[in-house]
Chains A and B, each alone.
Chain A
Amino acid sequence: MSKFLKAFLFVSLVFAPFAASAVTVASWGGAYTESQQKAYADTYSDPSSIVFENYNGGLGEVRAQVESGNVVWDLVDVLPSDAITGCDEGLFEDISSEIAELSTPGPDGESMLEDMENNGLEYHSGWDCCVPQIFWTYVVFYDPDAFPGEKPDSMADFFDTEKFPGKRGIHTWATGIIEKAMVADGVKPNAVPTVLANQTGAIDRAFEVLDRIKDDVVFWSAGSQPLELVKSGEVIMAIAYNGRVGAANLAEGENFEYIWEGQVLDQEYLCLTAGAPNRDAAIDFMMHASTPEAQAEQAKYITYGPMRASGIPIIENNEPWGPGGVDIMPHMPNTPERLAVSIVSDPQWWADYGAEIGERYAAWMGN
């Protein structure tokens, strides 16, 4: 046997155990994954055992891995509708008993799930396979310098091109926009999911509102685009992920204003892939990543809100929480006051109607 082969065998024998025990987490990449690395992995008992990998969302790759029996990702960071579908289809493993047993309760002894319900969330089947991560939102923002006079402060203003002439930046898929349109039509933000689910013709109503801005829209499809659009003056206001706006304000010295009314809160989960190669280690990391402390820690690095209600007071009581002594609360989407004027997106409803509305939205865009 050649020396090279021997050396190779030796190296692989030595490193194989490490390689096998590393928990692979598929997440969205960029500043978001960086914040997960700092808040969850770096604070974990064995930081080197957690490896993040980037993916582009959706369950396509997870399904391919599970169906082929070649599971590479132990954990996947997903949107709630994917958490539901993945859990229903058995792409994610049902660990509800482990969650009940091992998750860290809140300060008043409330269970993790109760803690999430205190944040305005409702149980869905994704909760059986996944632990909570963050709240992120579709929020409207603008550059105050572009409005010397009156400034917009409601969804009605966003959809009113007579009061505020100029282009609006919105995204090329339907989630979030439908809900905002309902608010502009006079539905109370908290009631939007109920109205969408129960009122016949609610969708038609939303599309009628969308028609009002149809000729004044610039469509974006990547998260960085709305910031460019507003910065360059291409549009006067835009819908964006609040984390992007927060980063621009905190790190790039921008002075963007949010319109919190009608923001659409969406959730983010960490789910255990069925047949994960490092199942037990992965569950241990899930439990760590869903403690109120770890959730509050993440807000230091990105302005997304903890999904456990008990994470908020930790931030509030320890301001300035951000790096370099900046206050984080002005950028948190889920303070009690802001929750009162927000919509918590209903993932079950989107799992039911998302495909159909997606096609209808595309038809609306192209007409």
Chain B
Amino acid sequence: MEVTISTAELLTTDGVPLKQSLRKAERRNKLRAFLLVFPLLFFIVVTFVMPIGDMLLRSIDDSQINSVFPNTFKEYKNWDKAADELPPEEVYKSLFFELANGDKRQIGKALTRMNYAKSGWKSLIKKTTREIKKIVKKGEEPVSYKETFIKINKFWGDPTYWYSFNQMVNDRSSIYYWNAVDRTYSEDGDVVLQDERRRMYIKTWFRTFKVSVYVTIFCLILGFPVAHLLANLPLRYSNLLMIFVLLPFWTSLLVRTTAWIVMLQQNGVINGILVWLGIVSDEGRLQMVYNETGTLIAMTQILLPFMILPLYSVMRVIPKSHMRAAQNLGAKPAMAFWRVYLPQTIPGISAGGLLVFVLAIGYFITPELVGGKDGKLIGSWIAYHLKTTLNWGLCAALGGILLGIMLILYWLYNKIVGIDNIKLG
């Protein structure tokens, strides 16, 4: 016998088809669930998605300057650089009027932008604008705008200034990203290496990466035994040990950094002891701070708790009987550790490692203070451009690259270890 069920005929007690009624109930549930998470969602969108989106937008945005000099840039694109040494008369003419009639503040903002493309634009345009306004006030119409500009300042006859327009003539450009890896645009708009004496970003990127990897490894080497002790000692000892871990963690970052300077400097505690012991001579005191070594040592100590705590919380729940069982079955202690204990701590190592690495790659204050000669990381440069040069486009590009690196690492990590393997306790 064949049984057919026709859902269309199933009705609830109040005569509404069951399917419809179920859908309604489900919709209500969904709405309720959405309303519950809405505050969190709103919070994340406002404080996380929007700022990061805005930052990424800024890293490719050049619309402000394009709104100040639209005609100049349009004419500029018609300049045949192979044929003429200097841009055509129309470029000078457009610039003349855009400087004469433009809003002072908008021009001011554009100047800050222009100065990133080539140093010296700022005062050149300011001086020129003053002269142009005088000419306009007198009511004179220049015969040749080009000659007028060059008469005001000889730099207007210098094509290198004009070449730098290449970097700004489009609303959207990738110049900030190129700048962030020591590259710039040539006179023809090709991407070329920055002047050799100014190249420092690639070096800093590699250093940031290197320091972060080293700090993570050192933290693991130092943190693993400590976490193991914490998890296995009797409670009264482990509590005391925990305080030793947490006390520095609660101490101000600046205090800890300064303490390291006192310890490591050439007339500091460690060098003093080494000289007293006769290990190094008085003249041969070690340079351990104000360089990369100082950054490594101080950052490792400061980030250590971020490795110990996740490790500890994972190790605490590993039953001690596992190791005993392994040894009981014939494994030597080392083998039992390697094959039985270590694999169970992987979630803690992952969590700690990722935490330390993420914190280290964007670290700022400690490297700034103890980094000196060659221990500064990319974070210092983001701060520098944010505050001092106001080159927020470059800031955003540096931040964007940092974000990209993190996403790639996260993806790799997920491929190799699996993200659900992370455990904080």
Residues of A bordering B, CB below 8 Å = 56-60, 63, 85, 87-90, 125, 172, 207, 217-222, 225, 228, 232-234, 348-349, 351-356, 358-360, 362-366
Contact = CB atoms under 8 A, between A and B. Distances in A.
Nearest to B203: A366
B105 A355 contact: no
Contacts of A232: 265, 267-268
Given A172-B376, A363-B198, A366-B203, 20 more contacts: A56-B387, A58-B390, A60-B386, A60-B387, A89-B105, A89-B112, A90-B108, A218-B290, A221-B369, A234-B265, A349-B123, A351-B122, A352-B122, A352-B123, A354-B389, A355-B385, A360-B197, A360-B198, A363-B199, A364-B197
Contacts of B268: 232
Contact of B120 (A90, A225, A353, A365): A353
Contact of B104 (A85, A90, A356): A90
A351 B114 CA distance: 12
Given A58-B388, A365-B374, A89 B109 contact: yes
A234 B123 contact: no
Lowest 7 CB-CB distances: which A-B pairs, in order?
A: A58-B387, A90-B105, A88-B108, A219-B372, A363-B200, A355-B389, A89-B108
Contacts of A58: 386-388, 390
Interface string B179-215: 0000000000000000001111001100000000000
A234 B267 CA distance: 6
B120 A358 contact: no
B245 to A, nearest CB: 28
B387 A57 contact: yes
A219 B120 CA distance: 28
Contacts of B199: 363
A contacts with B: majority SS = helix
A234 B266 contact: yes
20 contacts: A56-B387, A59-B390, A87-B108, A88-B104, A88-B105, A88-B107, A88-B112, A89-B108, A172-B372, A218-B372, A221-B369, A232-B268, A348-B122, A353-B119, A354-B389, A355-B388, A358-B384, A365-B372, A365-B373, A365-B374
A355 B265 contact: no
Nearest to A222: B369
A90 to B, nearest CB: 3
B387 A354 contact: no
B90 interface: no
Interface in B242-281: 261, 265-268
B374 A366 contact: yes
Interface in B194-238: 197-200, 203-204
- Most chain-B CB neighbours within 10 Å: which of A217, A354, A358, A366? A366
B109 A219 contact: no
Nearest to A219: B372
A355 B116 contact: yes
Nearest to B370: A221
Interface in B356-379: 368-369, 371-374, 376
B203 A348 contact: no
A358 B380 CA distance: 12
B115 interface: yes
A233 B265 CA distance: 10
Given A88-B126, A232-B267, A234-B266, A354 B388 contact: yes
Contacts of A234: 265-267
A348 B374 contact: no
B391 interface: yes
A359 to B, nearest CB: 5
Given A233-B267, A353-B120, A125 B126 contact: yes
A219 B375 CA distance: 11
Contacts of A366: 200, 203-204, 373-374, 376
Q: How large is the interface on B (under 10, 10 to 19, 20 to 34, 35 or more residues)?
A: 35 or more
Contacts of A233: 267
A207 B116 CA distance: 21
A125 B104 CA distance: 12
A98 B268 CA distance: 55
Contacts of B381: 362
B164 to A, nearest CB: 12
Contacts of B121: 352
Nearest to A84: B122
Given A172-B376, A362-B200, A63 B126 contact: no
A234 B198 CA distance: 30
Given A219-B373, A360-B198, A363-B198, A355 B115 contact: yes
Nearest to A88: B108
Given A85-B112, A90-B104, A222-B369, A358 B388 contact: yes
Interface string B118-140: 01111100100000000000000
B315 interface: no
Contacts of A207: 197
A355 B372 contact: no
B394 to A, nearest CB: 9
A1 B130 CA distance: 62
B126 A359 contact: no
Contacts of A364: 197
B119 A355 contact: yes
A329 B104 CA distance: 42
Nearest to B384: A358
A348 B373 contact: no
A356 B118 CA distance: 9
A317 B369 CA distance: 42
Nearest to A366: B374
B95 interface: no
Interface in B28-51: none
B111 interface: yes
B290 A219 contact: yes
Contacts of B126: 88, 125
Contact of A60 (B200, B203, B290, B390): B390
Contacts of A222: 369
B46 to A, nearest CB: 14
- Most chain-A CB neighbours within 10 Å: which of B108, B121, B388, B391? B388
A233 B373 CA distance: 19
Contacts of A172: 372, 376
Nearest to A348: B123
Contacts of B376: 172, 362, 366
A209 to B, nearest CB: 15
Interface in B81-123: 104-105, 107-109, 111-112, 115-116, 119-123
Interface string B123-160: 10010000000000000000000000000000000000
